[in-house]
Amino acid sequence: MRLSINGRTHTLRLEPRATLLDTLRDELGLTGTKKGCDRGQCGACTVLIDGRRVLSCLSLAIMQQDREVTTIEGLAQGERLHPMQRAFVAHDALQCGFCTPGQICSAIGMLREAGDGMASIVDPAWQGRSASLSDAEIRERMSGNLCRCGAYRQIVAAIQEVALADGGQIHHKFDNRPDSKGDSSHGAAPASRT
Name the residues that contact ligand FES, by CB under 6 A: 35-38, 40-45, 55, 57, 94-100, 147-149, 151
For residues 178, 179, 183, 186, the Cα torsion angle rounded to the nearest 10 degrees is: -70
Q: Quote the least distance from Cβ 7 to ligand FES, whole Å.
A: 23
At its nearest, how many Å lie between ligand FES and the CB of residue 130? 32
> How many beta carbons lie within 10 A of that of residue 178, not counting itself?
17
By beta-carbon proximity to ligand FES, the closer residue of 40 and 168 is: 40
Asked whether the beta carbons of 16 and 76 are under 8 A apart, the reply is no
According to DSSP, residue 169 is labeled B
User: With respect to ligand FES, which residue has the nearer C-beta, 91 or 171?
Assistant: 91
Residues facing 53 on adjacent strands: 48
Between residues 20 and 170, which has the closer beta carbon with respect to ligand FES? 20
Report whether 171 contacts 111 (CB < 8 A): yes
CA distance 42 to 127: 28
Residues in contact with 33: Cβ distance below 8 Å, sequence separation at least 6, in sequence order: 21, 24, 25, 44, 45, 46, 47, 56, 71, 72, 101, 102
Kindly tell me which of 37 and 185 has the beta carbon lying closer to ligand FES: 37
Q: Minimum distance from CB of 9 to ligand FES (Å)? A: 25
State in angstroms the smallest separation of the CB of 150 from ligand FES. 8
> Toward ligand FES, which CB reaches closer, 101 or 115?
101
Please state the closest distance from residue 168 (CB atom) to ligand FES, in A: 28
